[in-house]
Amino acid sequence: MNFDLPDDHELIRRTVRDFAEQEVAPVAEELDRTKAFPYAIVKQLGELGLMGIPFPEEYGGAGADSLAYAIAVEELTRVDSSVAITLCAHTSLGTQPIYLFGSEEQKAEWLPKLTSGEVLGAFGLTEPEAGSDAGNVRTRASLNEDGWTINGAKQFITNAGTDISGVVCITARTGEDEISNLIVPNGTPGYFQGEPYRKMGWNASDTRPLTFEDCVVPEENLLGPRGAGFKQFLHVLDIGRIGVAAMGVGLAQGALDQALAYAKERRAFGKPISKFQAIQAKLADMATEIEAARLLVYKAARLKDQGRNFTLTAAQAKLKTGRLAVRCAEEAVQIHGGYGYIEEYPVCRMYRDAKILTIGEGTDEVQQMVIARALGA
Amino acid sequence: MKICVLVKSVPEAGVTKRINPSTGRLERGGETRDNPFDTHAIEAAMQLKEGGELQVDEIVAVTMGPEAAAKALRKAVSLGADRSIHLSDEALAGSDVNGTGYALARVLATESPDLVLLGQQSDDGECYTIGAVVADHLQMPSLTQVIKIDVEGGALRCERQAEYGYDTVSIPLPAVISVGDAINEPRYPSLKAIMGAKKKPLETKSAADAGIEADRVGYDHARAHCAEFAEPPAKAAGQIIEDEDTSETVEKIVAWLDERKLLA
Ligand SMILES: Cc1cc2nc3c(=O)[nH]c(=O)nc-3n(C[C@H](O)[C@H](O)[C@H](O)COP(=O)(O)OP(=O)(O)OC[C@H]3O[C@@H](n4cnc5c(N)ncnc54)[C@H](O)[C@@H]3O)c2cc1C
């Protein structure tokens, strides 16, 4: 067993860390405050090849593996969650289904634009009545001579409504007991993106409700075989969990970084607060849990890269890291005292950004269901 | 023409540096990174190549250090160097500036570069002198702390950071130039370039391969040894002046500075 990262992974970490610290950190607070989508940063991410990390070069991707992807997501989240989720939702939710299930024509049409970051991809699964119970899809698509006519609504969809959003893959009911995935390009008549939600966090990322009113797409926009939609989205979510779990580790680490630096500077009772045992215990616990969680995330990525079953490990990683991110963000605020409650300090933003990690991409309770099922319970 | 760029792997800036009292050397077990100043040297090489005024056929990255130091080479080739050379030998461990400069010069001599670029200082040793030592061994003119390079015929016109401003110096090639971080904004390596880096040739050389004389390198042959190390003294607590009346506050600050003869 070798715990050292291969050299290219170390260099990827180094590069994304430098990028995050130099390009993202200086604007993160403003992006969050003004709820502005980070167009300039996404453009740079595209130029660096970070918008298509795990896809083969023939489709414009970087040809790297899931571990490289997890590391990049971790390093971005260490500095800012909104930027990270934009990349993450684009990669593992938006681009992934087309890469996994698309025909050669669909891949040739969409992947180069997506992997270069020229357009953003989104994945529309959640509906008002289909969240954890994602199979309870109400959106309908019926096939006639014009193609698929789609009617319905999606809820909480990331990346669908920006100026550079290009495509959403949606689940729709194509028969009574039949769910299929369809590709819907932005600009298709009848496809509307609603106003962005007012969120607790992830303020600079784009999240909106979508509606489809007699929205017609060509028959060939069906993704993979008709009726395969349920299996397809379960697989996409499995992969997506590795990304979101990497976000959890990154956020927790970012919170620890901030807390440690602050604790060494802030003085009380005549010494730096980092010299108090109570603060040291918090820092030590955070560091220990983060290291353990990181190994779990990397293991999930490794299993996937080796072509082995990673469903259980990805769910464990997602469950562990979401909770950890929430806890570390809270401890980091605690260590900052009153300053942690003030927006000038990044831990304040981290505290708000952390909570979604126990909800999105499958709630903690859903992860527990997945894990228990794998245990045979 | 050929440009050689010297690069080095150094401890991560955020890691607390420790000196091992038994060896007298910096502990290098922790997280490392490529020396940031060297990234500016690679960028300078790339800009000369892309500028097109000089016909740069090849950029070669060179490092000396243990196995893990090859990481700095990986970064250099992902930023655009065409190939790299790793000088690695137990016998070189603990070399001082003199020995390191000599050893690097031996490797460079086999490459016959038209220009050698390097960062003006490393994040760890911060001695600022490797460029000059290398130049001396190679019998080439040398400039240090360069923050601007322009091509002027077959020569380079450089601005060198001086205490009072800039020196503008013309330097014929071949030459050795160490650069400061004001010289450029280094690019980030793209992910594709990082993935492609391992396909570029990497040559590992031992001291013997490079024709390095064993009695001129390594800890035992270093001419300078550090006798003692000490933590920097703890900063004395500062004095806080409450700003009640600003002109009075200013007076207090001026008086404080004056007392210490800090005002000209
Ligand atoms: C900012 C943001 C971005 C998002 N981006 C996307 C996106 O890009 N694409 C997309 O498709 N979705 C997206 N989502 C949706 C997200 O995945 C869902 O909100 C999430 O899966 C939970 O679904 P729900 O909100 O309907 O909650 P519900 O399913 O209604 O759950 C409510 C509560 O009940 C619990 N619960 C439900 N069923 C069970 C059960 N069987 N046993 C025990 N407990 C249960 C849940 O764990 C939860 O605690 C996003 C959400 C947010 C907030």
Q: Which of A18, A57, A64 sits opposite B188 (nearest CB)?
A: A18
Q: What is the pLDDT along chain A (377 residues), one digit of tens a residue?
A: 888 888 889 999 999 999 999 999 999 999 999 999 999 999 999 999 999 999 999 999 999 999 999 999 999 999 999 999 999 999 999 999 999 999 999 999 999 999 999 999 999 999 999 999 999 999 999 999 999 999 999 999 999 999 999 999 999 999 999 999 999 999 999 999 999 999 999 999 999 999 999 999 999 999 999 999 999 999 999 999 999 999 999 999 999 999 999 999 999 999 999 999 999 999 999 999 999 999 999 999 999 999 999 999 999 999 999 999 999 999 999 999 999 999 999 999 999 999 999 999 999 999 999 999 999 99
Q: Per-residue confidence at B228, pLDDT binned at 50, 70, 90?
A: confident
Residue B232, pLDDT above cutoff 80: no
- Ligand 1 centroid–CA A198 distance in Å is 17
Contact B195 A62 (CB under 8 A): yes
Residues A70 and A127 in one domain: no
CA A28 to chain centroid: 17
CATH of the domain at A54: 1.10.540.10
| Residue located via tokens 């050698």 | B116
Q: What tokens appear for A142 in the block? A: 């019926």
In a domain, A2, yes or no: no
Average pLDDT over residues B131-157: 95
The string of DSSP codes covering B32-46 is: EEE-HHHHHHHHHHH
Residue spans of alpha helices (H) in chain A: 7-19, 25-34, 39-47, 66-79, 81-88, 96-101, 104-115, 229-265, 277-305, 311-336, 346-354, 364-375
Residue of chain B minimizing CA distance to A50: B191
Co-location of A170 and A237 in the same domain:
no
Which residues fall within 8 angstroms of residue B236, CB to CB, at 6 or more apart? none
User: Does residue B123 surpass a pLDDT of 90?
Assistant: no
> Is the Cα dihedral A137, A307, A314, A366 positive or negative?
positive
Ramachandran category for residue B112: left, alpha or beta (phi over 0 → left; psi -120 to 50 → alpha) = left
User: Phi, psi (5° rounding) for residue B145?
Assistant: 50, 45
Residue nearest to atom 23 of ligand 1 (CA): A131
Whether residues A205 and A102 share a domain: the answer is: no
Q: What is the CATH number of the domain that holds A267?
A: 1.20.140.10
C-alpha dihedral, A62 to A65 to A68 to A72, nearest 10°: 60
CB contact under 8 Å between B192 and A62, yes or no, is yes
A304/A348 same-domain check:
yes
Kindly state the tokens that stand for A139: 């959106």
Q: Are residues A362 and A257 in the same domain?
A: yes
Res. B206 pLDDT band, cuts 50 70 90: very high
Answer for the pair A167, A202: CB distance below 8 angstroms, yes or no.
no
Which are the catalytic amino acids of A? 361
Percentage above 70 pLDDT, chain B: 97
For residue B241, being part of any structural domain is answered with no
Angle A250-B72-A53 from CA coordinates, rounded to 5°: 45
> DSSP string covering B174-201, please?
SEEEEE-TTS--PPPPPHHHHHHHTTS-
Mean pLDDT of B230-243: 80
Please give the pLDDT value at position A207. Answer: 98
Together in a domain, A258 and A163: no
In a domain, B205, yes or no: yes
Express each pLDDT in B66-118 by its tens digit. Answer: 998 999 999 999 999 999 999 999 999 989 999 999 999 999 999 999 999 99
Give me the residue from A10, A11, A49 closest to B192, CB to CB. Answer: A49
Radius of gyration of chain B (CA): 22
Q: Does the structure show a pLDDT above 90 at B175?
A: yes
In a domain, A38, yes or no: yes
CB contact under 8 A, B195 and A19: no
Domain count, chain B: 1
Residues in chain A, overall count: 377
Instruction: Report how many helices (DSSP H) and strands (DSSP E) chain B contains, helices first.
Output: 6, 13
On the question of pLDDT at B17 being above 80, the answer is no
Task: Identify the domain containing residue B108 by its residue range.
Answer: 2-221
Indicate the residue type of B115.
L
Whose alpha carbon is nearest atom 27 of ligand 1? A131
| Ligand 1 near A334 CB (within 6 A) | no
Q: Do A81 and A200 belong to one domain?
A: no
The CATH number covering residue A170 comes to 2.40.110.10
Last residue within a domain, chosen from A93, A115, A137: A115
- The residue from A82, A115, A148 where one domain ends is A115
pLDDT at residue A329, rounded to an integer: 98
| The predicted structure's pLDDT at residue A364 | 98
CB A239 within 8 A of CB A96: yes
Cα–Cα dist A139/A154, whole Å: 8
Query: Is ligand 1 within 6 A of the CB of residue A30?
Result: no
A211 and A136 fall within a common domain: yes
Q: Which of A7, A14, A49 lies nearest to residue B190, judging by beta carbons?
A: A49
Per-residue confidence (pLDDT) for residue A219, from 0 to 100: 97
Establish, for the pair of chains A and B, how many residue pairs have beta carbons separated by less than 8 Å. Answer: 50
Both structure tokens of A201: 């966090």
The pLDDT of residue B163: 85
For residue B174, pLDDT over 80 is answered with: yes
Domain around A99:
7-115
Would you say residue A236 lies in a domain?
Answer: yes
- Considering the domain architecture, whether residues A207 and A283 belong to the same structural domain is answered as no
Decide if B222 contacts B96 (C-beta within 8 A): yes
Query: Would you say residue A1 lies in a domain?
Result: no
DSSP codes of every residue in B3-70: EEEE--EEE-TTSPP-EETTTTEE---S-EEE-HHHHHHHHHHHHHHHH-SS---EEEEEEESSGGGH
Residue B232 lies in a domain: no
User: Ligand 1, from A87, A90, A132: best to mutate by most atoms within 8 Å of Cβ?
Assistant: A132
pLDDT at A327: 98
> In terms of domains, do A88 and A148 share one?
no
Give B70's contacts in chain A (Cβ within 8 Å): 7
| Chosen domain end from A212, A227, A242 | A227
Q: Is B258 a member of any domain?
A: no
Please count the structural domains in chain A. 3
Sign (positive or negative) of CA dihedral A215, A216, A221, A222: positive
* A89 touches ligand 1 (CB under 6 Å): yes
Q: What are phi and psi of B7, to 5 degrees?
A: -130, 160
Looking at residue A126, its pLDDT comes to 97
For residue B57, give the CATH number of its domain: 3.40.50.620
- Quick one: pLDDT at residue A149? 98
By C-alpha distance, the chain A residue nearest B33 is A14
Indicate if A176 and A155 belong to the same structural domain.
Answer: yes
B172 pLDDT exceeds 90? yes
Is there a domain that residue B236 lies in?
A: no
Q: Are residues A140 and A273 in the same domain?
A: no
